[in-house]
């Protein structure tokens, strides 16, 4: 029974690693599978704010309290899929309490 549970655990771990991808899961060309590298500035969404090397914050819309929401975007890198808000000192945070919102 213990051997079966170890096999099930190892299978679940392998499935999780495959599903998550990761930098080690790359093609022979050195690019991430399914990723298309940016070839021009036209691929960056309008209104995007550069925050790092090929990483941008893109305005989504204002929430129901009037606070602008942003999403991370990169044509070549993995980014977190979460709502971000802008602070008074132009940082981007996920905690709305730290945001510079006009409430």
Which residue segment(s) compose the domain that 44 sits in?
Answer: 40-103
52 in the same domain as 11: no
Give the model's pLDDT for residue 77: 94
Q: Are residues 44 and 27 in the same domain?
A: no
pLDDT in tens, the chain (103 residues): 455 445 445 545 454 444 444 444 444 444 445 545 555 556 899 999 999 999 999 999 999 999 999 999 999 999 999 999 999 999 999 999 999 886 5
DSSP string for 68-101: EEEEEE-SSS----S-BEE-TTS-EES-GGGS--
pTM (two decimals): 0.59
């Amino acid at each position: 029974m213990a051997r079966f549970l170890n096999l099930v655990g190892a299978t679940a771990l392998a499935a999780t690693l495959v599903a998550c991808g990761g930098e080690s899961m790359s093609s022979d060309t050195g690019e991430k599978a399914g990723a298309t590298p940016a070839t021009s500035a036209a691929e960056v969404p309008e209104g995007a704010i550069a925050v790092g090397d090929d990483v941008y914050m893109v305005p989504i819309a204002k929430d129901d309290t009037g606070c602008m929401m942003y999403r991370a975007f990169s044509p070549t890198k993995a980014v977190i899929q979460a709502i971000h808000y802008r602070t008074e000192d132009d940082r981007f945070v996920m905690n709305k309490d730290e945001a510079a919102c006009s409430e």
